[in-house]
Every structure is written in structure tokens, then in C-alpha cells.
Amino acid sequence: MLEYASWPRRIAALVIDWFVSSLVTIGIVGLGDYGRQGSSSSWVVLGVFALEVAVLTTLAGGSFGQLIVRIRVLTTEGRPLSLLVAIARTLLICVVVPPLIFENATGRGLHDRWTRSAAYVR
């Protein structure tokens, strides 16, 4: 039986993913534009984050951060997520609220329940 990923592990993966997405954004828009108040760089970070998470979840079973902290995202039947399901799951994560409403026993948020997925320890 697969073990669900803990919250500290999930948060560590999110921090890593956001940090890497910020670095990529700095590479795209430049450090000056990234730090400028009123710039749209925060939206670019979110877009880079969403693209990275959706694509890597489909291709590798988890985002960059999830792979580092040894989390694998699968369907509840144990299969890899399709690109469409990974995109839907990622967009729900970007909305923030679905991951904050979760089951105590499994830690699965609404984004996981609605897409019939789960984050497991590899």
C-alpha cells in the first residue's frame, strides 16, 4: 500500500518549486524587472510554476520540488496522471484554496479529490 506524503514534505516541495520558478522568471524578465514594484513578474512566476508542475507531473510523476523530496503524484488507482488531469490539478493548486481544504487522514486536498489523484511518498 502506498503512503500519503506528509504536509512538511508537500510544503518543502512547494517552496522548492516556487524558488525555481522565481529563478526562471528572473532569467526571462531580468532581475531589474523582477524586483520592480508594479511589474507583472509575479504573474510570470505563477505561469512558470503552473507549466513546470503540470508538465513534470505528467512526464515524471511529480514537479521538480516533489521529485527532490521524494513525492510521486498518481491517480487513486496508482496510474500516472494524464496531461489534462495534471493541468486541472495544477490550476486548482494555483487558486490556493483547494489545497487548504483537506482530509485529515490522507492529507488529500480538494485539488486531489476533484482530480482523483494523490501525493504519495516514493
Contacts of 110 (CB under 8 A, 6+ apart): 92, 97, 98, 99, 101, 102
41-60 vs 83-95: helix crossing angle, rounded to 10? 140
Tell me the CA distances in angstroms from 91 to 3, 50, 60, 96, one per residue in order.
Answer: 24, 7, 18, 9
First to last CA, the chain: 12
Structural Rg of the chain based on CA atoms:
15
> Apex CA 36: angle with CA 30 and CA 38, to 5°?
125
Give residue-wise pLDDT tens across range 61-80: 999 999 999 999 999 999 99
When pLDDT is cut at 50, 70 and 90, the band that residue 101 belongs to is: confident
Give residue-wise pLDDT tens across range 33-48: 888 877 789 999 999 9
Delimit the domains of the chain by residue range.
7-121
What are the start-end ranges of the E strands in the chain?
A: 71-75, 117-121
When pLDDT is cut at 50, 70 and 90, the band that residue 96 belongs to is: confident
> Apex CA 65: angle with CA 3 and CA 89, to 5°?
70
